[in-house]
Chains A and B, each alone.
Chain A
Amino acid sequence: MRVVIAEDLFLLRDGLTRMLQAHGLEIVAAVDNGADLLAAVTADKPDVAIVDVRLPPTFTDEGIRAALAARREVPGLPVLVLSQYVEQLYARELLASGSGGIGYLLKDRVFDSAQFVDAVRRVAAGGTAMDPEVIARLLARNTGDGAIAALSPREREVLSLMAEGRSNAAIAQRLVITERAVAKHTASIFLKLDLQPSDDDNRRVLAVLAYLEG
């Protein structure tokens, strides 16, 4: 799998490169700013771009904007955004297009390399990977009204795991239920959120988006 990394801190960039290479991923470019990222994704056509939120020159939300710009340049380009902190606001913006291939994770998640690489692969395959902290803060919210309120507690559990980007198999394993039960729950969620049957991956993203909208 071909990966482009945009991270301005040399140590982290180097560490990410080594770690992903150790897991058999190919790093085609490792850059330190948004403009170079754009050039790299258009030139190298990677399978996934891993982008830090804070990049020069402004060191604010450059990475988010670079990620969105990269997806406009190369439609459908899977992007995994890394950050020292997560904001629901940014999660929404990243998911706003309604298409998959988006990840938004805390940098801490790099510590667990197996899970991190798993998330990278999931995003590259067009899935989503939302940081559990985004989900936790969502759950802390009292979603008193809206479509989400119509979901049963179990369905909400399934939806939050789905939002993290887990597959039906992984959800089944986590909740100790059968995969068929998970499929039943997801179908019910899609129905209650009024998501038309289409490409399943896309519907999963839309469900997460509905979730984020509260």
Chain B
Amino acid sequence: MSAGFTPGGPEDWWARQAQKAPEPQLPWPSVPWPPPPASSARQSPTPRLPVPEPSAWQSQVPASSSAPQFPAQQPPVPPSQPPAQQSPAQRSPAPSAPSAPQSPAPWPTARQSPAAQFPPLQSSVPQSSIPWSELWSWLGGRLAVAGRGLALFGLALFGLVLLGALAATLALLPFLTVNLIGTDKRGDAAAAGFLAIVAWLTVGPLLLLWMRSLARLTRKLADRWCGVPIAEPYLPRPWADGGKHGPRQWLGWLLRDQATWRDLAWVAVDGLLGWLLALLPAALLFLGILGVFAPSFASGSIRFLAIVGAAAGLWACPWLLRGYGHFAHSMLAPTKEAELALRVRQLAQTRTEAIDTSAAEIRRIERDLHDGAQARLVAMGMTLDAAGQIIDTNPDAARALLFEARDASVKALAELRDLVRGIHPPVLADRGLTDAIRALALDSPMRIHVVSDLHGRASAPVESAAYFAVSELLANVSKHAEARQTWIDIRHTDDMLRIGVTDNGHGGADPSRGSGLRGIERRLASFDGVLAVSSPPGGPTAVTMEIPCELSLPKTSSSLGTA
């Protein structure tokens, strides 16, 4: 049992699932965040693997890990109106979603420690008078866990079948050769050999691919059922970037990937030994039932032992399942090498994008200066020169020219101000992220509620990226969402800057269509930041950003104190 283990995880998850109202009504993605940062940091030396597609995140269900994540218990939407099911016609023009103003914070107002969120196991065990409903729900949770173990056992068996099929395919060639080569049916032998090689090249890889699917399913279930998130180690398809796509590339991609062979090893080990852990709770339970009901267990002591075993199995099954998850993690998680390779690829990509973006920015600034302030200064100089030439002969005209020059300087200043705002807003430099976003909110035509608990300043690049991301999101909201209100929540927990932007507009934002969200995602990726979007048709839209960073203490002025 690892130190970070939280007792009673899985069954609590089960209970939470039972309480949870239909998912789409959450304004936050049901799994808005990629694998919980704390656990991923524990399991991998790199903070984050390549940014998963938000759609991929949607498929993950919050593991009952101790890492903070969006808890299901505080959706700001009244459960009575799941927006996903509303047709636009049904929608009232002024939906009250996402929430009453008194709960603008999309995150829990009081973040509890993990231990408080998941009460220790003992507390759910009845103390004095037996609270039956609690006991039943506990029992139900445990039975569900045992059932999941059974399902994992089934997967292991299926893996064994695949393994057998693969072995049979491989054995085909030597078997046929040995059986046919001694005889004088040379032609048959050659045909059989050819067939076997074809089988090697077609059925073999296909089976390997199935095993990959099996391993992927196991990873997903380890996250969902065992609370052990496991990252995917596979190489990206080389033709995803527009390379050649043929059977040879496909085979090379599959066979050259180390993860393929690790999957094979997993299937073998899991099929031979691993399933024991998964099956144990169900098996103990079965024995217990047998002990109670089967007449052959005549001896009282054996019966007693069986019942105790079943109880122990029930009690321990979350731990056993979690153990299975850790076992799977040890074999299925990316190796350090694979992780580093992924990381290098991701860094190379984000670096290229960062360079491209900054080059484009600099070009834009150059153009703005050239066409704006610079041109105006040239015009001003010429006007002043003209004024100087006629000042003796025609003072009135000279005065008019001087006024003209003054107006040009005002315009040049205004343009420079706008330009500076676009490069690095002064209020961001002065006051930091929170006040800069407040200033942004004040300038916006929408009603925007800003809640922040930042104590300190993030590094300037992170602040800038976060600021412009929020700025762009707000622009998106006012352009597309027809929202009346927007909530912005800024937090820093576990070395992670989290910003949520929720609006009560009509939803339907799709990162894969709009270039805006993609652009934000790319910009955040340079900081290992991620973006998650939940925007069911009918709204509300919730965009959440996460950027790993540390805060420095706020600067205090030496001469003025905290004035």
Contact = CB atoms under 8 A, between A and B. Distances in A.
Nearest 7 CB-CB pairings of A with B = A35-B559, A60-B430, A69-B563, A61-B430, A142-B445, A88-B442, A65-B563
Interface string B428-444: 01110001001100111
B421 interface: yes
B557 A65 contact: yes
B409 A111 contact: yes
Interface in A89-132: 89-90, 92, 106-108, 111-112
Contacts of B413: 84, 106-108
A62 B426 CA distance: 13
Contacts of A137: 443
11 contacts: A34-B557, A35-B559, A57-B558, A62-B560, A65-B560, A72-B563, A84-B417, A85-B426, A87-B442, A88-B442, A141-B443
B420, B430, B443, B445, most chain A CB atoms within 10 A: B430
Contacts of B421: 85
Contacts of B442: 87-89, 92, 141, 214
A88 B439 contact: yes
A38 B563 CA distance: 12
Interface string B549-563: 000000101111001
A108 B555 CA distance: 29
B443 A144 contact: no
A194 interface: no
Contacts of A199: none
B427 interface: yes
A58 B554 CA distance: 12
Q: How large is the interface on A (under 10, 10 to 19, 20 to 34, 35 or more residues)?
A: 20 to 34
A62, A87, A107, A112, most chain B CB atoms within 10 A: A87
A57 B557 contact: yes
Given A58-B555, A140-B445, A145-B447, A85 B560 contact: no
B480 interface: no
Nearest to B555: A58
B16 interface: no
Contacts of B410: 108, 111
A184 B409 CA distance: 39
Contacts of B484: 144
Given A60-B429, A60-B430, A141-B443, A89 B559 contact: no
Interface in B233-291: none
B186 interface: no
A193 to B, nearest CB: 19
B563 A61 contact: no
A31 B188 CA distance: 104
Contacts of B111: none
Interface of B: 406, 409-410, 413-414, 417, 420-421, 426-427, 429-431, 435, 438-439, 442-447, 484, 555, 557-560, 563
Contact of B443 (A35, A88, A106): A88
Q: Is the interface of A mostly helix, strand, loop or mixed?
A: helix
Contacts of A35: 559-560
A62 B439 contact: no
A18 B119 CA distance: 72
A106 B484 CA distance: 32
A160 to B, nearest CB: 16
Given A57-B559, A72-B563, A92-B442, 18 more contacts: A58-B557, A60-B555, A61-B427, A61-B431, A62-B557, A62-B560, A65-B560, A66-B563, A69-B560, A84-B417, A85-B417, A85-B426, A87-B426, A89-B431, A89-B438, A89-B442, A108-B409, A142-B446
B446 to A, nearest CB: 8
Interface of A: 33-35, 38, 57-58, 60-62, 65-66, 68-69, 72, 84-85, 87-90, 92, 106-108, 111-112, 137, 140-142, 144-145, 214
B226 to A, nearest CB: 49
Contact of A85 (B420, B444, B555, B559): B420
B287 to A, nearest CB: 68
A58 to B, nearest CB: 6
Contacts of A84: 413, 417, 420, 426
B417 A144 contact: no
Nearest to A60: B430
Contacts of B429: 60
B196 to A, nearest CB: 75
A34 B410 CA distance: 27
B559 A87 contact: no
A140 B319 CA distance: 60
Contacts of A34: 557, 559-560
B409, B447, B563, most chain A CB atoms within 10 A: B563
Contacts of B420: 84-85
B557 to A, nearest CB: 6
Contacts of B444: 141
A84 B426 CA distance: 9
A186 B380 CA distance: 42
Contacts of A142: 445-446
A84 B430 CA distance: 13
A144 B446 CA distance: 9
A72 to B, nearest CB: 8
A35 B406 CA distance: 34
B431 to A, nearest CB: 6
A141 B442 CA distance: 8
A214 B286 CA distance: 68
A72 B562 CA distance: 13
Nearest to B417: A85
Contacts of A58: 555, 557
Contact of B431 (A60, A68, A72, A92): A60
A89 B435 contact: yes
Contacts of B558: 57
Nearest to A90: B427
A111 B431 CA distance: 28
Nearest to A213: B442
A108 B411 CA distance: 10
B557 A87 contact: no
A114 to B, nearest CB: 13
A33 B559 contact: yes
Contacts of B447: 144-145
Nearest to A137: B443
A69 B445 CA distance: 32
A109 to B, nearest CB: 9
A72 B555 CA distance: 22
Nearest to A140: B445
Given A111-B409, A145-B447, A87 B427 contact: yes
Nearest to B440: A89
A89 B557 contact: no
Contacts of A111: 406, 409-410
Contacts of B414: 108
A82 to B, nearest CB: 13
Contacts of B406: 111-112
A142 B429 CA distance: 27
